[in-house]
């Protein structure tokens, strides 16, 4: 693991001001569980796992009012678990923060490795559950493998969980990249950028750019939706809803995954008034990229200020990629020349170090 931090620390009008950006090297292949991540915090989802190889990805979500339920992983012939992760969101506007063991997977208490306040007065949590998931999956028959999720603390305090499993898949013929992102998008607008190790080759028949979002505390049909723009073009205005849960606080969860289609919403400006299933939060980014592109920019906004975008997954078929968090301008000095100068200096330093490393 390579970890670099740029830190500019100055005094602005008597107040200490710090610009800090952690760069996580995602170019290696293998175990990512030892990563130290200092900037998983409300303000942006960021990449926490990157894997490349003959791999596939299985994602499922579960929101429930009851204490326990089933979450699934799809297994193809010869498949084994490379790594598995569980994301959990507590119920909006409860300020509930989970402890280790408050959620169980197949009766085993889950231990959190990252957690962050959300933008809606709740908490998001992240765990590595490879050791819980692997042996059952590896020995299972082809098809759906069931795991029992138990919300040991009050179920009304937990909106739901997302299980993302990266699978060694002998049916894959080319190297793919999976990137999992976790954190908390700001409801008032937040961005992240996908950097591609090789330029997009739209003539490659194996090229796939599937994109998934995980959202909690969104109920539809209402005015609760997130809009998503990709490279400045609207992808959806109806992300959200309780697709993988129930229409009840403490069960509001959706994620693009099993039983969803990567078809994009036919009307990208349709808001969430039709219902949760108009948009299943699984998307195809191919229509948004051009041959030779090396970056993809994604911007989310939740006009109702009460939905929590806390997870994303990218599946790059036949492509290698890394993902950068949005470089946010700190709130305090925005509008002052000093602040802008500091931001530009930090951005230049960040860019220099990043491209020194990656190219």
CB 106 within 8 Å of CB 30: no
Residue 229 in contact with Ca ion, rule: CB under 5 A: no
| Span interacting with Ca ion, options 130-138, 196-204, 255-263, 295-303, rule CB under 5 A | 255-263
Token duo for residue 97: 């923060």
- Give the per-residue contact string, 281-320, with Ca ion (x = CB under 5 A; - = no): -x--------------------------------------
Write out the binding residues for Ca ion, residues 138-167 only, by CB under 5 A: 155, 158
Which has the closest alpha carbon to 332: 92, 12, 36?
12
Of residues 250, 317, 325, 333, which one binds Ca ion by CB under 5 A?
A: 250
Q: What three-state secondary structure class fits 133?
A: helix
- Residue 47 CB, shortest distance to Ca ion, in Å, is 21
Q: Which is nearer to Ca ion, 148 or 261 (CB)?
A: 261
- If we measure between CA atoms, which residue out of 241, 260, 239, 261 comes closest to residue 251? 241
DSSP state of 157: G
Identify which of residues 158 and 178 has a Cβ nearer to Ca ion in the complex: 158
Stretch that binds Ca ion, among 50-58, 98-106, 107-115, 233-241 (CB under 5 A): 233-241
In the list 92, 276, 317, 333, the residue contacting Ca ion (rule: CB under 5 A) is: 276
73 Cβ contact partners less than 8 Å away, ≥ 6 residues apart: 58, 60, 84, 133, 137, 144, 145, 147, 163, 165, 167
Choose the binding region for Ca ion from 11-19, 133-141, 225-233, 279-287 (rule: CB under 5 A): 279-287
C-alpha to C-alpha distance for 198 and 80, rounded to whole angstroms: 28
When the beta carbons of 72 and 119 are compared against Ca ion, the nearer one is 72
φ, ψ of residue 217 in degrees (nearest 5): 60, 35
Phi and psi (nearest 5°) for 322?
A: -135, 165
Which of the ranges 17-25, 268-276, 310-318, 351-359 carries the binding residues for Ca ion, by CB under 5 A?
A: 268-276
Q: Which residues pair with 180 in a beta bridge?
A: 49, 313
In the complex, least distance from residue 289 CB atom to Ca ion, rounded to whole angstroms? 17
Which residue from 21, 74, 102, 279 is in contact with Ca ion, where contact means CB under 5 A? 279
Out of 21, 186, 190, 243, the only residue in the binding site for Ca ion (CB under 5 A) is: 243
For the chain, report the end-to-end CA distance as a whole number of angstroms.
Answer: 17
Nearer to Ca ion among residue 47 and residue 250 (C-beta): 250
CB-based burial of residue 76 (10 Å sphere; 0-12 exposed, 13-18 middle, 19+ buried)? middle
Sites of contact with Ca ion (CB under 5 A): 155, 158, 241, 243-244, 250, 254, 260-261, 263, 276, 279-280, 282
């Amino acid at each position: 693991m390579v970890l670099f931090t740029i830190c500019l620390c100055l005094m602005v009008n008597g107040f200490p001001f710090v610009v800090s950006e952690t760069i996580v090297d995602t170019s290696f292949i293998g175990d990512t569980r030892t990563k130290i991540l200092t900037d998983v915090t409300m303000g942006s989802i960021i990449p926490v796992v990157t894997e490349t190889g003959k791999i596939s990805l299985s994602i499922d979500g579960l929101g429930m009012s009851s204490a326990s339920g089933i979450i699934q992983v799809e297994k193809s012939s010869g498949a084994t678990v490379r790594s598995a992760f569980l994301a959990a969101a507590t119920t909006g506007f409860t300020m509930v923060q989970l402890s280790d063991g408050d959620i169980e997977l197949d009766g085993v208490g889950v231990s959190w490795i990252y957690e962050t306040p959300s933008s809606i007065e709740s908490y998001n949590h992240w765990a590595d559950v490879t050791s819980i998931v692997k042996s059952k999956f590896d020995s299972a028959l082809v098809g759906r493998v069931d795991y029992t999720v138990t919300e040991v603390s009050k179920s009304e305090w937990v909106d739901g969980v997302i299980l993302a499993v990266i699978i060694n898949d002998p049916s894959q013929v080319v190297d793919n990249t999976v990137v999992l992102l976790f954190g908390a998008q700001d409801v008032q607008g937040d961005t992240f950028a996908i950097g591609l190790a090789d330029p997009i080759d739209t003539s490659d028949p194996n090229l796939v750019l599937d994109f998934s979002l995980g959202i909690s505390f969104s109920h539809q049909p209402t005015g609760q939706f997130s809009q998503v723009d990709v490279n400045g073009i609207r992808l959806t205005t109806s992300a959200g809803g309780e697709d993988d849960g129930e229409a009840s606080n403490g069960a509001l969860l959706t994620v693009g995954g099993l039983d969803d289609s990567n078809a994009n919403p036919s009307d990208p400006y349709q808001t969430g008034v039709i219902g949760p299933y108009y948009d299943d939060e699984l998307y195809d980014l191919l229509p948004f990229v051009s041959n030779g592109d090396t970056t993809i920019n994604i911007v989310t906004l939740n006009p109702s200020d009460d939905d929590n975008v806390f997870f994303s997954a990218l599946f790059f078929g036949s492509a290698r990629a890394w993902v950068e968090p949005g470089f946010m301008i700190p709130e305090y000095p925005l509008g002052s020349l000093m602040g802008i100068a500091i931001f530009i200096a930090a951005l230049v330093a960040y860019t220099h170090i990043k491209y020194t490393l990656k190219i």
